[in-house]
């Protein structure tokens, strides 16, 4: 299974109208295709006004064909896209993630997600993925939050991502604080010195709004 992600940032003066337009557009594409899209609002780790769109995808080719069909046949969809685009600060950025491992039940879309992702040199990818899989099991055992490990080569090359799901922001705070306060986290972070130094690292928290 793969996850399609799109990130976009609204203009400072368009936060309310831009968010409403994205709710309208994302609701429309979910109703008009065989995919369930989720709309996210960034809380931490990205500029204020950042929104995310995600969908689970088994076959990326089928997915792109379905979206292309919508652009070709659905004038209402094109109008919603154009209206939403007027509120964006720039062009959206897409990425595709291959989910390689999961711990806990992530069958339902969570209300809140947190993620940490980092880029490694090609020779360091395999050991870094193995490290992430072990960390996923460890963090789930301490904080209880379900977590997936994903790898991206397209849009974000050689990136590994840990993605946790929670029922609420309060649940995120409790679980993440428990993990950060456990001595085992420091030991595992120290072990990454044997793998390599990430070329880039990002983290964030997002809340589901649709």
Tens of pLDDT along 104-142? 999 999 999 999 999 999 999 999 999 999 999 999 999
Residue indicated by tokens 């992702």: 117
Domain count along the chain: 2
Q: Give the E-state strand segments of 29-166 in sequence order.
A: 37-44, 50-57, 93-103, 112-119, 147-154, 159-166
pLDDT at residue 189, rounded to an integer: 97
Q: Based on the domain organization, do 80 and 132 belong to the same domain? A: no
Among 91, 119, 142, residue at a domain's last position: 91
* 55 in Cβ contact with 40 (< 8 Å): no
Q: Based on the domain organization, do 87 and 169 belong to the same domain? A: no
Of the chain, the percentage scoring pLDDT greater than 90 comes to: 100
Q: Is 122 left (phi over 0), alpha (psi -120 to 50) or beta?
A: alpha
Element at 191 (helix H, strand E)? helix 183-191
Per the document, the length of the chain is 210
Distance, in Å, from the CA atom of 182 to the CA atom of 178, rounded to the nearest integer, reads 6
Task: Please give the chain's pLDDT, 210 residues, in tens.
Answer: 999 999 999 999 999 999 999 999 999 999 999 999 999 999 999 999 999 999 999 999 999 999 999 999 999 999 999 999 999 999 999 999 999 999 999 999 999 999 999 999 999 999 999 999 999 999 999 999 999 999 999 999 999 999 999 999 999 999 999 999 999 999 999 999 999 999 999 999 999 999
Q: Based on the domain organization, do 123 and 171 belong to the same domain? A: yes
Q: Based on the domain organization, do 141 and 53 belong to the same domain? A: no
Q: Based on the domain organization, do 84 and 112 belong to the same domain? A: no
Q: How far is CA 70 from CA 29, 81, 87, 180, in A?
A: 8, 11, 21, 44
Tokens read off for 168: 């609420």
Q: Based on the domain organization, do 144 and 190 belong to the same domain? A: yes
pLDDT at residue 157, rounded to an integer: 96
65: domain range?
2-91
Q: Based on the domain organization, do 86 and 112 belong to the same domain? A: no
Tokens read off for 84: 């939403």
Among 35, 58, 91, residue at a domain's last position: 91
* 5 in Cβ contact with 202 (< 8 Å): no
Q: Based on the domain organization, do 122 and 199 belong to the same domain? A: yes
Q: Based on the domain organization, do 87 and 143 belong to the same domain? A: no
Q: Based on the domain organization, do 114 and 79 belong to the same domain? A: no
Q: What is the CATH number of the domain that holds 84?
A: 3.30.70.100
Among 91, 112, 138, residue at a domain's last position: 91
Distance, in Å, from the CA atom of 158 to the CA atom of 16, rounded to the nearest integer, reads 35
Find, among 164, 165, 161, 173, the residue nearest to 201 by Cα: 161
Distance, in Å, from the CA atom of 172 to the CA atom of 49, rounded to the nearest integer, reads 21
3-state SS class at 25: helix
Q: Based on the domain organization, do 19 and 85 belong to the same domain? A: yes
Long-range contacts of 61-70 (CB under 8 A, 24+ apart): 63/4, 63/35, 66/33, 66/34, 66/35, 67/29, 67/33, 70/29, 70/32, 70/33
pLDDT at residue 183, rounded to an integer: 97
Q: Based on the domain organization, do 106 and 182 belong to the same domain? A: yes
């Amino acid at each position: 299974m793969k996850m399609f992600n799109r990130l976009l940032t609204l203009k400072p003066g368009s936060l309310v109208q831009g968010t409403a337009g994205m709710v309208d557009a994302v609701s429309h594409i979910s109703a008009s295709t065989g995919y369930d899209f989720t709309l996210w609002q960034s809380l931490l780790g990205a500029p204020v006004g950042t929104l995310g769109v995600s969908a689970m995808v088994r076959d990326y080719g089928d997915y792109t064909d379905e979206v292309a069909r919508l652009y070709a046949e659905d004038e209402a969809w094109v109008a919603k896209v154009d209206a939403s685009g007027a509120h964006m600060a720039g062009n959206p950025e897409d990425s595709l993630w291959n989910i390689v491992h999961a711990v806990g039940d992530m069958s339902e879309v969570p209300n809140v997600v947190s993620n940490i992702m980092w880029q490694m040199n090609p020779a360091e990818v395999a050991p870094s993925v193995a490290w992430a899989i072990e960390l996923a099991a460890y963090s789930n055992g301490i904080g209880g939050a379900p977590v997936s490990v994903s790898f991206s080569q397209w849009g974000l090359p050689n990136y590994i991502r840990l993605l946790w799901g929670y029922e609420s922001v309060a649940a995120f705070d409790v679980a993440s604080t428990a993990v950060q306060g456990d001595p085992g986290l420091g030991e595992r972070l120290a072990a990454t010195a044997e793998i390599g130094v990430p070329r880039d690292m990002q983290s964030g928290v997002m809340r589901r709004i649709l």
